[in-house]
Amino acid sequence: MAASQAVEEMRGRVVLGEFGVRNVHTTDFPGNYSGYDDAWDQDRFEKNFRVDVVHMDENSLEFDMVGIDAAIANAFRRILLAEVPTMAVEKVLVYNNTSIVQDEILAHRLGLIPIHADPRLFEYRNQGDEDGTEIDTLQFRLQVRCTRNPHAAKDSSDPNELYVNHKVYTRHMTWIPLGNQADLFPEGTIRPVHDDILIAQLRPGQEIDLLMHCVKGIGKDHAKFSPVATASYRLLPDITLLEPVEGEAAEELSRCFSPGVIEVQEVQGKKVARVANPRLDTFSREIFRHEKLKKVVRLARVRDHYICDFSWSGAVAHACQGGWIT
């Protein structure tokens, strides 16, 4: 019986000890364990595999993938990083730039601005095409000139009061429809995702006047096309109390974990610790600094349960809510 439990732990849990981590490598391949059929079976995979969306908003997505190996979880991460198309600034035609920001740096900053546009409605621009068309290009104009505010107080030193248009934001970007784009896209649908991204700062007499061409691309070609800011996954924590923890030890145990992981309850007038939500733990392993407590807790992670966290740059977040990504 003990041997069977040890095998199940080895197959299903990555155990965190005081001085190392056990069961790191996947071992459930055919012929490795007597009495286990680990041959690939599509029906069994489809039955065990599931995706549970835990949280999704315009800035982030958290979901669980259960019943897979690290290689497949990492494949999902890499697909979102490098294979999901978006629209981004590819070419910048600078007519006048007297700001302190060099043309190359300015063009780089413009390329990183997320654009609110459905990439499925556009084609990839052909290699070598210099001029874009309405089917593969979005065009924006940025024309801002800084002047003095004639109504500013004489003793003022606040640039926001002294100058007009001294900060260039993405809200100054104006979409210029090409061909029949004005008929295809209602006003306000083609725009930067955020209108308060600071592009440059100006002083009286300085001016930025340029034209931008946005094209469809993927993160594999350039990071500016990547729809996610951060993409990570981790194994689901599994925390087990090997014996009851009561009294002051329960309070001390709770402080060894992230808030919400261990809950202290009153049971028949005694404080008793229980595992409330192991998902919240970051596994700092603070518990191993306490000689008595480290013997009553087992720290592990579920081998085939991945918690995936993605933060959107903005473009695909609207795509998700609008049904662009299914």
In whole angstroms, how large is the CA radius of gyration of the chain?
28
Q: Encode pLDDT of 51-64 as tens digits.
A: 999 998 878 889 99
Average pLDDT, integer, range 77-93: 92
Share of the chain above pLDDT 70, in %: 96
Average pLDDT, integer, range 107-122: 93
Question: Do the Cβ atoms of 283 and 21 come closer than 8 Å?
Answer: no
**Cα–Cα distance, 212 to 191 (Å, whole number):** 12
**Cα–Cα distance, 322 to 118 (Å, whole number):** 9
Instruction: Inform me whether the pLDDT recorded for 188 exceeds 80.
Output: yes
CATH superfamily to which 85-226 belongs: DNA-directed RNA polymerase, insert domain (2.170.120.12)
Instruction: Inform me whether the pLDDT recorded for 268 exceeds 90.
Output: no
List where CATH 3.30.1360.10 sits in the chain. Answer: 1-27+51-80+231-311
Question: Do the Cβ atoms of 87 and 316 come closer than 8 Å?
Answer: no
Question: Do the Cβ atoms of 310 and 80 come closer than 8 Å?
Answer: yes
Instruction: Inform me whether the pLDDT recorded for 120 exceeds 70.
Output: yes
**Cα–Cα distance, 178 to 125 (Å, whole number):** 15
- Sort 104 into a burial class: Cβ within 10 Å, 0-12 / 13-18 / 19+: exposed
Q: Is 79 left (phi over 0), alpha (psi -120 to 50) or beta?
A: alpha
**Cα–Cα distance, 166 to 161 (Å, whole number):** 10
Average pLDDT, integer, range 289-302: 92
Instruction: Inform me whether the pLDDT recorded for 321 exceeds 60.
Output: no
Instruction: Inform me whether the pLDDT recorded for 280 exceeds 70.
Output: yes
Q: Encode pLDDT of 134-160 as tens digits.
A: 999 999 999 999 999 998 888 889 999
Phi and psi angles of residue 16, each rounded to the nearest 5 degrees, phi first:
-100, 115
Q: Provide the pLDDT for residue 58.
A: 78
Q: Provide the pLDDT for residue 187.
A: 85
Q: Provide the pLDDT for residue 3.
A: 62
Q: Which residues pair with 77 in a beta bridge?
A: none
Q: Provide the pLDDT for residue 322.
A: 44
Nearest to 112 by CA among 138, 83, 77, 86: 86
List where CATH 2.170.120.12 sits in the chain. Answer: 85-226
Q: Name which CATH class applies to 1-27+51-80+231-311.
A: alpha beta
151 contacts: CB under 8 Å, gap ≥ 6: none
Q: Encode pLDDT of 32-52 as tens digits.
A: 777 788 888 899 889 999 999
Q: Provide the pLDDT for residue 316.
A: 67
Q: How far is CA 176 from CA 150, 173, 214, 246, in A?
A: 32, 10, 11, 68
Structure tokens, 282: 């970051």
* 3-class state of residue 42 by DSSP: helix
Structure tokens, 286: 């603070």
Q: Provide the pLDDT for residue 324.
A: 42
Q: Provide the pLDDT for residue 323.
A: 44
Q: How far is CA 310 from CA 58, 201, 230, 269, 301, in A?
A: 11, 32, 6, 44, 20
Q: Supply the pTM of this predicted model.
A: 0.80
Average pLDDT, integer, range 284-309: 92
Average pLDDT, integer, range 199-214: 96
Q: 326 falls in which pLDDT band (50, 70, 90)?
A: very low
Q: Say which range, 114-118, 303-307, 320-324, has the weakest mean pLDDT.
A: 320-324
Average pLDDT, integer, range 172-181: 94
Q: What is the mean pLDDT of the chain?
A: 89
Q: 317 falls in which pLDDT band (50, 70, 90)?
A: low
Terminal-residue alpha carbon distance, the chain: 46
